[in-house]
Copies of this chain bind each other. A is one copy, B any other.
């Protein structure tokens, strides 16, 4: 696992795929900044967008032979507040790619800033869409994820 210090120094160039997300009014909690739970919604969103657009995931009409990814562990480190109506660039990379699992890392960059506001991620285990037992991911999934792998001693 990367040290918090290593994560805090992440640059935009440390990520392989980016999507911009516009924050929502209700993302701010009563302390006037984006609530910690909201970051997980955004991590989920950039990961699944990539899986759908570049890896063949069809979550609403799964072919019984094609596994879906379930989250088994998640984490996030918060370095600076984000606040509605910020727009945030989410950077995605893959820190570990196994036969039936993958660990993603996501960096949060407020548009116009280069210091990372937060770094989080989670591990997907691929399972049969009905039986929900772990299974190897399909070839198209693996090929898509391989493009995001970053070799790094200081990964999550």
Q: How many copies does the complex hold?
A: 4
Number of interface residues of A (CB under 8 A): 46
Do B45 and A35 touch (CB < 8 A)? no
**Residues of A with Cβ closer than 8 Å to B?**
4, 19-26, 28-32, 35-38, 40-42, 44-45, 47-49, 52-53, 59-60, 68, 70-78, 81, 83-85, 122, 132
Please name all residues of chain B whose beta carbon is closer than 8 Å to the beta carbon of A21 when the two chains form the complex.
22, 24
Please name all residues of chain B whose beta carbon is closer than 8 Å to the beta carbon of A122 when the two chains form the complex.
36
Do A37 and B30 touch (CB < 8 A)? no
Given that A25-B29, A29-B29, A60-B30 are known contacts, is A76 also in contact with B77, CB under 8 Å in the complex? Answer: no
Given that A40-B37, A40-B40, A41-B37 are known contacts, is A29 also in contact with B31, CB under 8 Å in the complex? Answer: no
